[in-house]
Structure 1
Amino acid sequence: MSSYKTDNKSGLPVLYLQDHKQALWKKFHEQFPNGMQRTSFMTRLDEDLGELCMTCNECGYSVFAKIEKIIESHVTDPGIRKELVNDSQILKQYLRRDYTKQLQIDDMGNAIHIPCVSHCLRHAFGDCNQDHPKICQSCESLFEFFVKLQNNLDIMHYQDFEEYKKQLISFMSHHARKTYLNAQLNSNLLQLDSDEALLIVDYKMRILPKSARETKSEFFGKRGWSLHSILIYTKNSETQNLNIQAFDH
């Protein structure tokens, strides 16, 4: 018996929780009409999901938390402190949600050239010989943010800021890779014939006690029983709809 949560209407496994955020909010709001508002709910949901990925946690969320802690502790001017924290929040939202929306991949899984070098996956793969005359102000704000930090904080923090900047660039690279790889799955599913099957095999989870929030490094450092999961995609020859089966071992 599969441990995947299934959709009530279709009976299919819920593969990506991100695709069902609106459904989760609707269910929560119906059960707790006087509870937190939608924006707070979505923010909390993103934070809870985000820390499950070690790269996102170490190169993204933890970095912003450390930066904001430095700002709160060492910037004495309340106006500048508020401005820097606000800049940090805006940058975090862009890198986490909006950056990947700028990347373009066609239905066949091929990266598309974009005039902005920060958004051109072909350039990132070393496979683009076209010009990139445009500059994304949102991406440039990453570097401007650290310049502003250095202008308002002591030199003792400069080395940490350089490391944090490198980590956030790695955070962007991680999201770019994830976006490209997800597109490859969609491309393969589009090309799937009725007499073919696509199998995805991976270790999904472990059966063990866990804290409310923990990173993957903490999670995989514990002993437990790992579930080896297989997703099998097939296509109905008449309706062209995908059939999905999930098996845990």
Structure 2
Amino acid sequence: MTAALTANALTALRYAPYGTEDNVRSEGDAHGWALMGIAVDHTGSAFDVDADGYFSGPAEEIMAQSNAAAFAQAMADACGEEGGTWVRVGGRCLFDANSTTATDAVDGLMGALADYPLLDESDHSEREWNAMCEEIDSEMPGAYPDDVDASDVLRELACPELGRIGYDDVMDAVRTLGYAPCSDCSEWLSPTTGREGEPLCRGCAVEETRPSVRVMPTTLSESPRYELGSPLTAVLTPYLDGRAVELGCAYREDVRAIVRGSADGYRQTYGRAA
């Protein structure tokens, strides 16, 4: 016995590779179906039950994955487990077209998709949220600030779109949460004001005070070179323990001004005493 195909099934296979129709009929024979259908969407194409086709972007892929999962669950709920009156083969849903239960289930699901692009909006929302969190993770430079994760960042984004969340979006959201990265390292700081500038952690602020020291050559074949001297820790400590604490972090502009204004820093900057 060779399984017959419904008109919709034949339409869905019209552009399939050579031999596909024979393979589909063989699948129907293996299940003992006299008449076999294929789940077809409103465009006349076979519904992608594996969600592994070509997608224009991650948003379309997530939608396909959600619909495929919802379709399989709905078929199992209506017709029983896969293998009885329906089966997924080669990305298509094949079903016993003489089974009223299977036919009604497929027609209902395809009709629902024709009216609205999602079979299970809750499942899709969860998948989309998780995918956007993964996208944020990939754009995050290093570790998150304490007590912050991708979900917190996502909540701060205005109208996020899957596949279009960039580094600047992530950093703006983190700043909205009250954090700013140190300008010289990956440490997160908590500025208490909206001041513009280059925030620095304590360690990088101290490093900023290292003077550039000219080292004279010891032989004729050498040229003068510059090395970083010892940091002016004593000069900067009052600022770090005072104003920087109030601001939530140090700022490069403040550090440079303090260094230039100190006796040691002035001498290193201008080459003479103030």
Give the alignment's TM-score, normalised by structure 2.
0.18
Larger radius of gyration: 2
Give the alignment's TM-score, normalised by structure 1.
0.20
